[in-house]
Amino acid sequence: MTLTLLAALLASNALAVHPPVAAFDDDYGGYDDDGWFPSGTSWPVSQPSDVPPVPAPKGVQGGVLQDDSPRILRRLDGHLAPVRSAVFSPDGKLVLTASWDGTASLWDAGTGEKKWSSGEPSRSRDQGLQTAVFSPDGKVIAAGGEDKVVRLWDAASGALRATLTGHTAQIDVVAFSGDGAKIITGSRDGTARIWDAASGAELRNLVADGGDVSAAALDSDGGRALIGTTQGSAKLWSFRDARAVTLAVESPPSFGAKSVGFLAFLSGGSKVLLAQRGLRVLDAASGALERSFADGEGLGTVSIDAAERHVAAVDSRSHLRVFDLAGGKLTRDVGPLKSNYGAALSPDGSRVVLAESLWAVIWRIDYLPEEREAVRRALDQTVEVPAPGNGPGSASNRFRRNFGK
């Protein structure tokens, strides 16, 4: 590999350096008393623009790329009330949004085109959606919210497949098992329920240890469940051997940060990631704490990329922070954000979708793994820096610090 190839990479759309692109102007007016944008308003339509897919770093501090002007790839407009969640499909080609207007919408992540919406927006305060997720194969969408019902749609056509009823209060959590056969839902009625994804039949009703269910997850086949609450407790339920493991949470919980905000199985189910005030990696068998990072951070929504390389969260300062999951090192710090209701990494970790007010925004925050590898190889084989100049501030080490070894 030669310097010519590196120059070609840097000149390509993938690695090019472009002047900053102005952020979208959000000053379109205001909400009415119900949190809706005034009816009859003409919304500007987002147009694709020549935006570089890699943000130009503001600087490097302690090995962390700093950037307060992320590059917007797409803005997804169309909801009439705040978007409460936004996630990528398992293949990264689609984005699913859920809004307080009572609708879930599916978008093309590349073009920003809306593919379908689950229905007509509702102005009722008790119809808003809180969350929507894809099944692991991307073929089914599940969403729940204030009307206490979970609905399943066919992702390709938008056709309604099933309605799951039984909760007696707002649903804040919906998640599939790894095989897609089961669904777990968490509600403000203090229960987590497990359902058969094909038939819609309720399989289990688990009562939390006090408080509302604020986080929940299933393992690969639904044989184990994680449940976290607004009172700061968390348990792993194993249905294979009829036991429950109490997970190590912050004790005592920090004032204003009791809720367990996120739970997920890691490493094939042997580990658990828990977000409370900071991030904790726990042993799934014993519930014991193995390590923690981002300690003391008030974290909002949390997401992990498909390879379990990175975890992203929005902190109490409205910064999007990305951490290396294996070592807990902060690798990306973007912000402050304007308004944010949720953030999710793309499966490859190169993009993030943020639920911002009435829309969702897709940012490019990182190089693709293959782009990083191409740069690394080009640098390793072509850049020669004399030993005295190969210190922390040298060009060679700056590249390696930014792109990884």
pLDDT digits (tens, 9 = 90+) for 74-85: 899 999 999 999
Q: What is the pTM of this model?
A: 0.79
For the chain, what is the mean pLDDT?
79
pLDDT at position 384 is 47
At 339, list the tokens. 């308004």
Burial 61-86, CB ≥16 within 10 A → b, else e: eeebbebeebbbbbbbbbbbbbbbbb
CA angle 204–88–148, rounded 5-degree value: 35
More confident residue, 279 or 381: 279
End-to-end Cα distance, the chain:
17
pLDDT at position 5 is 41
Q: Is the pLDDT of residue 22 over 70?
A: no
Domains of the chain: 55-366 (2.130.10.10)
Q: Is the pLDDT of residue 87 over 80?
A: yes
Residue 379 pLDDT grade (very low, low, confident, very high; cuts 50, 70, 90)? low
Overall average pLDDT of the 259-282 stretch: 95
186 vs 180: CA distance, rounded Å: 17
Q: How many CB atoms lie within 10 A of CB 372?
A: 16
Q: How far from 59 is each of 52, 63, 68, 116, 349, CA to CA, in Å?
A: 17, 9, 10, 40, 21
Q: Which residues contact 315 (CB under 8 A, 6 or more apart)?
A: 294, 297, 298, 299, 300, 321
More confident residue, 333 or 20: 333
pLDDT at position 290 is 97
C-alpha 372: how far from chain center: 22
**pLDDT tens across 128-142, in order?**
999 999 999 999 999
pLDDT at position 378 is 61
- Which amino acid, residue 125? R
Q: What angle, 0 to 180 degrees and rounded to 10, lies between the N-to-C axes of helices 3-11 and 369-382?
A: 150
pLDDT at position 85 is 94
